[in-house]
Structure 1
């Protein structure tokens, strides 16, 4: 269970959409307080999911090869397949967007191209840019409300399906759950502490991180989705066939 939770927790921690949104929250006015509200809401939602799973199972994993155990593995296989499909979709879409950003003949445009461009309507603002502009003006309560919405629910669901195998009669299971929760929240905690103890330096560094994630958002989404998805698919197929 622990290797699965470590990989899933790491995927949640570096998920680009939530990380980018949190950096924007920190850069807003009174950003450290809004960031704290975001983290508290994030952790509360995350722990609620884990608690719901453990209450349902009673803290005892299903017996191997039993219908509940097989159903849990099938759920993880479905989630893994969904992540792979999503990653492939983002990869294909990202490739087309990159090719369309600059026409192949743009470098050979005639000298009058600038005048032609002047009559064109401006390009629509990117969705990520619109989101950033809105997040710059949010309140603390809004930041807290956004946290559950921005959690990567596909990965959270994969973690919940894995937690079904937790045996609370063993100390190792408690440690694994704590490590999973801390790892999944580690990036947010690190940025919050950085902003609190080094506000001047963090403003510049976090701005660079925000720019990097916005520039490489599609690649990061593809990488996280494919790595976690293929891992879940491979392990689930092995468990179902062994």
Structure 2
């Protein structure tokens, strides 16, 4: 169970949509407090999902080859297929966009052109600026509401299906669950602590991170979804046929 949760937790931690949104929250006015609200609601929702699974199973994994065990594997297979399909869809969409939008088009598009420093600014800069402006005005309660909303629910569902196999009579299962939770939240915690203890430096570094994710967001989504999806499909097929 631990290897599965490690891969899924890593995918959750680096999921680009969540990371980009959190960086924007940290960039807002009183961003560290809003970021804390975001993280606390994120963790609360994450723990609630795991608790619901463990309460349902009673902390005991279903017997091998039983109907619940087979159904759990089938759910993981379906999630894996869905993640691979999503990765393929993002790949196709990204490919069409890159062929349709040329550098000259970006410079001429609304919001494109050059920044005050003379650097090229992509056409998406205007929309990103509007998003930053909206997030700058959000309250702490709104930031808390964004936490559960922006979780990568496909990966969270994959983790929940894997946790069905947790045996709470064993210490190893507790260790696996704790490591999974910490790893899945590690990127948010690291950025929050960075913003608290090094506010000036973090503002620059996190801005660069946001720019990188915005530039490579589609490739990152394709990579994370495809890798985790193929892993779930391969392991599920093996478990169903062995």
TM-score normalized with structure 2 length: 0.90
For residue 100 of structure 2, give the secondary structure of its aligned residue in structure 1.
Answer: helix
Contact 1:42 1:148 in 2 (8 A): yes
TM-score normalized with structure 1 length: 0.90
Shift of 1:129: 5.3
Shift of 1:134: 2.0
Aligned CA RMSD, in angstroms, stands at 1.9
For residue 65 of structure 2, give the secondary structure of its aligned residue in structure 1.
Answer: coil
Shift of 1:137: 2.0
What pairs up with 1:123-134 in 2 under 5 angstroms?
Answer: 130-134=130-134
Shift of 1:135: 1.7
Equivalent residue, structure 2, for 1:111: none
Contact 1:21 1:135 in 2 (8 A): no
CA distance in 2, matches of 1:121, 1:198: 35
Over residues 150-194 of structure 1, what are the superposed CA-to-partner deviations in whole Å (9 max), with x where a residue is unaligned? 000000000000000000000010010000000000000000000
CA distance in 2, matches of 1:172, 1:86: 33
Which 5+ residue runs of structure 2 have no aligned equivalent? Answer: 113-122
Over residues 93-126 of structure 1, what are the superposed CA-to-partner deviations in whole Å (9 max), with x where a residue is unaligned? 00000111118xx69xxxxxx9xx7xx9778867
Over residues 11-31 of structure 1, what are the superposed CA-to-partner deviations in whole Å (9 max), with x where a residue is unaligned? 000000000000000011100
CA distance in 1, matches of 2:51, 2:148: 16
- The structure whose Rg is larger is 1
What pairs up with 1:197-236 in 2 under 5 angstroms?
Answer: 197-236=197-236
Contact 1:42 1:147 in 2 (8 A): yes
Counterpart check, 1:161 vs 2:144: no
Equivalent residue, structure 2, for 1:190: 190
Shift of 1:130: 4.4
Shift of 1:132: 3.4
Contact 2:61 2:167 in 1 (8 A): yes
CA distance in 2, matches of 1:129, 1:73: 43
Compared with structure 1, are the counterparts of its residues 61 and 127 closer, same or farther at alpha carbon in structure 2 (3 Å cutoff)? farther
CA distance in 2, matches of 1:63, 1:18: 36
What pairs up with 1:27-66 in 2 under 5 angstroms?
Answer: 27-66=27-66
Which 5+ residue runs of structure 1 have no aligned equivalent? Answer: 108-113
CA distance in 1, matches of 2:152, 2:86: 12
Over residues 65-102 of structure 1, what are the superposed CA-to-partner deviations in whole Å (9 max), with x where a residue is unaligned? 00000000000000000000000000000000011111
Over residues 201-241 of structure 1, what are the superposed CA-to-partner deviations in whole Å (9 max), with x where a residue is unaligned? 00000000000001100000000000000000000000000
Compared with structure 1, are the counterparts of its residues 235 and 18 closer, same or farther at alpha carbon in structure 2 (3 Å cutoff)? same
For residue 22 of structure 1, give the secondary structure of its aligned residue in structure 2.
Answer: helix
Moved over 4 A (4+): 120-130
Compared with structure 1, are the counterparts of its residues 98 and 176 closer, same or farther at alpha carbon in structure 2 (3 Å cutoff)? same
Equivalent residue, structure 1, for 2:21: 21
CA distance in 2, matches of 1:221, 1:186: 18
CA distance in 2, matches of 1:176, 1:21: 28
